[in-house]
Structure 1
Amino acid sequence: MRLSEKGLNHLKKSEGWRNAPYFDSAGIPTIGYGFTFYPNNKRVKITDDPITLAEGETMLKLILRPFEKWVSKLVTSSINQHQFDALVSFTYNVGQGNFSESTLLKKVNENPSDNTIQDEFKRWVYAGGKKSKGLKKRRNKEAYLYVNGY
């Protein structure tokens, strides 16, 4: 399964665009659509040169592929497109390791229609040990997308 166009737009809106390196809310050097690394797996450094929007669009598509593959591999139950899109957005933000060990994934694999799945998204709202308003908003949107679609 691949991220839909609507899913891609959701992710881009959630991440926002910054052409120059900056420190994210957890203090990690970031660029573009929330990239902490480039397609060649090189970590973003705060001293890196800015990138163009066109470069960022190309990078995003390359960087997303492993996340799509991880979600497809880790989710063993049958899910629909908007559920997949929500899980890719979530995994892109928290990382494959966190997703693979999450109660969210366990519940999706046990029963993708479980009403408590939306609550699992909402547990992931901390950045640098502090509750983040931005992550709270993002998780609410991902939970809504998972349950209700677009």
Structure 2
Amino acid sequence: MDYEGCQLNAYQCSANVWTNGYGHTVGVTPNSEVTHQEVVGNLVRDVQSAEAVVDQWVTVPLEQHQFDAFVSFVFNVGAGNFQRSTLLKKLNAEDYTGACNELTRWVYADGKRLKGLVRRRSAEREVCLNAYTP
């Protein structure tokens, strides 16, 4: 799922965080620029980091499609938000449907409901609830 688009120049995302590449935020400063090679390396590391968060904090078995949806979610909202979320509490209580449905609550940035987040969370929920095959 491609929600971020790729930006080589730093920009402030909807949550006012300096960002580049495909939603990479670590060490990004105003006026910084990255190469396509750096974007790919950052994306791989960012996804691996999100996978590690899901692996660390989820204590119940997941189907691949559920894992993928939650990795996408963590990639977007960050580890801390995931760790403190009702979504994680429901998931670890084996309320899989409830956890998947929680995704659609995360559609606000800086207090504003954003169409892009509504679209992303809806897609993540669909993947989470249904084994997805391209």
- Kept in 2, the 8 Å contact 1:77–1:112? The answer is no
Q: Report the residue type matching 1:99 in the other structure.
A: F
Deviation at 1:116, TM superposition (A): 2.5
Rounded Cα–Cα distance in structure 1 between residues aligned with 2:31 and 2:61: 43
Deviation at 1:119, TM superposition (A): 2.3
Aligned residues with identical type, % of pairs? 42
Equivalence for 2:101: 119
- Structure 1's unaligned 5+ residue stretches are 1-9, 38-42
- Structure 2's unaligned 5+ residue stretches are none
Task: Report the aligned-residue RMSD.
Answer: 1.3
CA distance 1:74–1:54, shift in 2 (3 Å): same
Equivalent positions of 1:3-42 (< 5 A) are 10=1, 13-37=2-26
- Kept in 1, the 8 Å contact 2:46–2:75? The answer is no
Aligned residue pair count: 132
Q: Report the residue type matching 2:9 in the other structure.
A: A
1:131 is the counterpart of 2:113: yes
Deviation at 1:149, TM superposition (A): 2.7
**SS across alignment from 1:46:** coil
1:46 is the counterpart of 2:30: yes
TM-score when normalising by structure 2: 0.92
